[in-house]
Amino acid sequence: MWKREEAAKPVSPAAAASVTGAGVGASRAGGRVAERDVVNIGKSVVIKGELSGSEDLTIEGQVEGKIELKQHVLTIGPHGRIRAGVFAKSVIVLGEVFGDIKATDKVAIRDNGSVEGDITAPKVAIAEGARFRGGIDMQQGARPKGEERPAAEVKPQPQPQHPQVKATSKAPQAASPGGN
């Protein structure tokens, strides 16, 4: 009546591969599974120095120094502890960052994430429950060449002159309280 052998088998190898690969950023195109380049640094890993790369990176361990991923996404996992200057396309913070963050796209501090340092990015999102201490510069990128002005050429705006008030009435002026 029941066929136990058929119930235990996966439907097809391609279907099984798409189910197992989907959790790590894989996408299915034309029956093949193409994995996205993502590198993980585990909880027990400690890196001191400069860290750079040309693929997305998830850090669960500790990094001290400098992190540079110009065109890629940096994710600091819930166990990640970063004491570094960070420069990436996009930064997602679930753990702790002590240092300045510069992103060309966006910075997101998620629930329980913590950043102590300045953030420079066109888009910044801080979730409820996240902690942040520092400054935020949400510049919209570089200005066109015609609009750029060096700081030395910027002139302060002239202060408006206050006209001198003259009494036109010949009536005596009242004395101020306190006898002064």
Q: Which tens digits make up the pLDDT trace of 131-163?
A: 999 999 997 654 444 444 444 444 555 555 555
Beta carbons within 10 angstroms of residue 93's beta carbon: 29
Residue 30 has what DSSP assignment?
Answer: T
Diameter of the chain measured on Cα atoms: 118
For 132, half-sphere exposure in the C-beta direction (CA atoms, 13 angstrom radius) is: 21
Tell me the DSSP string of 97-156.
EES-EEEEEEEEE-TT-EEES-EE-SEEEE-TT-EEES-EE---SPPPGGG---GGGPPP
**pLDDT for position 147:** 45
For 45, half-sphere exposure in the C-beta direction (CA atoms, 13 angstrom radius) is: 13
104, 36, 44, 41: which is closest to 69 by C-alpha? 104
Where does residue 102 fall: left (phi above 0), alpha (psi -120 to 50 degrees), or beta otherwise?
Answer: beta
Indicate whether 41 pLDDT > 70. Answer: yes
**pLDDT for position 10:** 45
**pLDDT for position 9:** 45
Q: Which residue has the higher pLDDT, 2 or 139?
A: 139
